[in-house]
Amino acid sequence: GDIELCDDNSFTGFPPFLSISKVEIRACGYARVGGEKIILRPVFGGTTDGDNYNFTLSRSANWSQWFDITNDSSGPGRNNWTLSDINNLDCDVEAVYGSGGFPFVVYCSKVELRVSS
Average pLDDT, the chain: 87
Amino acid at 16: P
Query: 24-37: per-residue pLDDT in tens?
Result: 999 999 988 877 89
Nearest by Cα to 90 from 48, 52, 28, 39: 48
Q: C-alpha angle 3/8/11, rounded to 5°?
A: 130
pTM of the predicted model as reported, rounded to 2 decimal places:
0.88
Query: 61-79: per-residue pLDDT in tens?
Result: 999 999 999 999 999 987 7
- Provide the pLDDT confidence category of residue 13 given band limits of 50, 70 and 90: low
Report the alpha-carbon distance of residue 95 to residue 29 in Å, rounded.
Answer: 10
Beta-bridge mates of residue 4? 93
State the DSSP code for 34.
S
- Provide the pLDDT confidence category of residue 90 given band limits of 50, 70 and 90: very high
